[in-house]
Amino acid sequence: MQAIRRRLTDVAGCWSDGRVLTVAAYAEQVAAGDTGRWQTATRHAAAWISPLAPVIDLNRQLPLTQLEFQTLALLIYALAAARGADPARVSAGEVLDWVAEHQLPMPPEADGPLEVESVAAVYGLWRLKVDAAVDRCCRDLAALLAAAGHEVPEPGWRRLDRYSPDPVISVWLTLVDTDAQALPAASLLDLFRPPLLVLGLTGLVDLVR
């Protein structure tokens, strides 16, 4: 999983707007003026994250705290809103259970040396499983948001017209859209272009614990 996370970090893209914000301040920014359940979810996420990571450094190429915050806030909101509950009452156990059910399959480990053709076949099958797991993760989260009354776009390519005035869906697009530019094909992992949501989820288990 560490290899996957390192590769995700390499290809995820970057943010850089020259600011360092407290997590609490960033939560209000992400709430985008909402005073209901979405604001409650962002504040609940900030309360969990800030003791371990009190600031978000947007000067970094990939501020993982920002990504983990967005993922956690969206998941808290979705889990609560889909059943009409208060986001402030969503427990760490609920989040961990959902994340555990949506973990990516681990890369295969060979018992001994393999022929080149066998390696390609084994990793090709693993990639199919990874792609299916990523798709399931996005679909299941989209279903929760739809049940909460949101109009949820399908994941797509990241571009300027992929925007929503709904702050919840704005975060959804940030996490599930992927960059369209070509990547070097040095290995099967180099061809792995998952949404940022996957990287956010990989960081939540330790964070929430």
How confident is the model over 153-170, as a mean pLDDT? Answer: 93
Tell me the sheet residues that pair with 13: none
Average per-residue pLDDT for the chain = 83
pLDDT category, 78, cuts 50, 70, 90?
Answer: very high
Please name which of 184, 180, 183, 162 lies closest in space to residue 171, comparing C-alpha atoms: 162
Q: Reply yes or no on whether the pLDDT at 16 is more than 70.
A: no
Could you tell me the maximum CA-CA distance found in the chain, to the nearest angstrom?
59
The pTM is what?
A: 0.82
> What local confidence, expressed as pLDDT, does residue 3 receive?
47
Q: Reply yes or no on whether the pLDDT at 21 is more than 80.
A: yes
Specify the 3-state DSSP secondary structure of 149: coil
Specify the 3-state DSSP secondary structure of 110: coil
Domain ranges of the chain: 2-208
Between 193 and 145, where is the model more confident? 145
